């Protein structure tokens, strides 16, 4: 397993999906995870696999902070230790379920399967801004690698073709030059960002009324996480975070959180807008071959306006990522 991802935090569910006393099964990096919330409200993440015969614990029951396997009824307490074996009540209780690190942030449950290399999920300071409304979109399941999906999120040259009439205009396909830099910042964390990115957009957001020139800043904040901020004309502010839940090397669940000061549009219509955009990207992403992102400079042909994509590829190489890429 790739230590970079194994020791990083990944989103696996919305917090609101798991009520006290409830369980939820999730997949992460080819590992089955069961999330469950105890009576005190604390969230737990375990391997979703009974140590007795490998059954999914999430198919069992959760009662009095005890998970009971559906197969032979073995019971497991808060720390993942077996507390009861119904078929042999005096048997030594040696069985232990693998327990993972879990925390809740940005309204989501984040899991680290290994030993956390970071204190928590990537920085997303716009989320803490009380003047911005938060809208959760997706999740979107894509049959592609998370790095292909992140790279697509950073790509502006596809707007005029894939998102024609919304984020782009076929009559204006040229991508003006922009700046790419690495950054290390107390507020934003570290990574690589692209600034002064400009695009003419017929319908830049749900609330836009007509076309406008939008300035974007893209920042890559972890190997599989990226945040864009838009600087539309006027007093509108908008940040969109894309967080990946890698299921396998070539299948990914994508979570998008918007932080924006549009308090007029309905939440449903804003989600619908994001769904439309993402569902336009999905078939393109699923058609890309190979599904893993090639990191060698000559593996695919690039032009100058692909500079941010190339910077992202170098960043992945420098982060020593192996999963979902071809080195």
Contact positions vs ligand FES (CB under 6 A): 50, 52-53, 55, 69, 71-72, 74
Of residues 73 and 294, the one with the C-beta less far from ligand FES: 73
- The structure tokens listed for 185 are 């910042």
Q: How far is the CB of 34 from Co ion (least distance, A)?
A: 33
Of residues 49 and 271, the one with the C-beta less far from Co ion: 271
Which option in Co ion, ligand FES, none does residue 170 bind, with CB closer than 5 to 8 A by kind? Answer: none
Which option in ligand FES, Co ion, none does residue 317 bind, with CB closer than 5 to 8 A by kind? Answer: none
Q: How far is the CB of 97 from ligand FES (least distance, A)?
A: 10
Which option in ligand FES, Co ion, none does residue 6 bind, with CB closer than 5 to 8 A by kind? Answer: none
Q: How far is the CB of 89 from ligand FES (least distance, A)?
A: 14
Of residues 86 and 297, the one with the C-beta less far from ligand FES: 86
Q: Please report, as residue ranges, which positions from 262 to 301 form the binding site for Co ion (by CB under 5 A).
A: 281
Q: CB–CB of 33/26 below 8 Å? A: yes
SS3 125: helix
Q: How far is the CB of 50 from ligand FES (least distance, A)?
A: 3
Q: CB–CB of 256/275 below 8 Å? A: no
Which option in Co ion, ligand FES, none does residue 281 bind, with CB closer than 5 to 8 A by kind? Answer: Co ion
Task: Count, in order, helices (H) and strands (E) of the chain.
Answer: 5, 19
Of residues 281 and 306, the one with the C-beta less far from Co ion: 281
Q: Please choose, from the candidates 311, 306, 5, the residue with its C-alpha nearest in 3D space to the C-alpha of residue 145.
A: 5
Q: Please choose, from the candidates 86, 89, 68, the residue with its C-alpha nearest in 3D space to the C-alpha of residue 77.
A: 68
Give burial (CB, 10 Å; 0-12/13-18/19+) of 314. middle
Distance between the two ends of the chain, CA-based, in angstroms? 15
Of residues 9 and 74, the one with the C-beta less far from ligand FES: 74
Cα distances from 290 to residues 80, 144, 146, 182, 293, in angstroms, run 40, 9, 13, 27, 7
Of residues 35 and 69, the one with the C-beta less far from ligand FES: 69
What residues make contact with Co ion under the rule CB under 5 A? 281
């Amino acid at each position: 397993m790739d230590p970079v991802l194994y020791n990083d935090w990944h989103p696996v569910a919305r917090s609101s999906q798991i009520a006290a006393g409830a369980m939820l099964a999730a997949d992460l990096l080819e590992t089955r995870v069961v999330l469950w919330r105890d009576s005190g409200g604390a969230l737990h993440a375990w391997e979703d696999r009974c140590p007795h015969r490998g059954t999914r614990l999430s198919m069992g029951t959760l009662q009095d902070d005890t998970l009971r396997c559906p197969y032979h009824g073995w019971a497991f307490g808060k720390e993942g230790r077996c507390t009861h074996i119904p078929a042999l009540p005096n048997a030594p209780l040696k069985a232990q379920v693998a327990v993972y690190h879990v925390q809740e942030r940005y309204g989501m449950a984040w899991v680290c399967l290994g030993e956390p290399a970071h204190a928590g999920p990537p920085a997303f300071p716009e989320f803490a801004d009380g003047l911005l409304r938060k809208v959760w979109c997706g999740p979107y399941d894509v049959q592609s690698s998370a790095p292909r999906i992140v790279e697509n999120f950073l790509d502006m040259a596809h707007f005029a073709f894939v998102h024609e009439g919304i984020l782009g205009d076929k009559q204006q396909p040229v991508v003006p030059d922009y700046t790419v830099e690495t950054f290390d910042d107390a507020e934003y964390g570290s990574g690589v960002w692209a600034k002064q990115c400009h695009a003419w957009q017929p319908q830049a957001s749900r609330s836009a009324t007509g076309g406008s020139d939008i300035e974007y800043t893209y920042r890559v904040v972890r190997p599989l996480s990226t945040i864009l901020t838009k600087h539309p004309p006027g007093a509108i502010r908008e940040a969109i975070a894309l967080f990946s839940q890698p299921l396998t090397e070539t299948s990914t669940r994508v979570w998008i959180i918007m932080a924006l000061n549009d308090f007029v549009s309905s939440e449903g219509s804003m989600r619908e807008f994001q769904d439309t955009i993402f569902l336009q990207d999905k078939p393109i992403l699923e058609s890309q071959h190979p599904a893993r992102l090639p990191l060698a400079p000559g593996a695919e042909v690039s032009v100058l306006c692909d500079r941010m994509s190339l910077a992202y590829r170098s960043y992945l190489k420098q982060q020593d990522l192996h999963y979902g890429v071809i080195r």
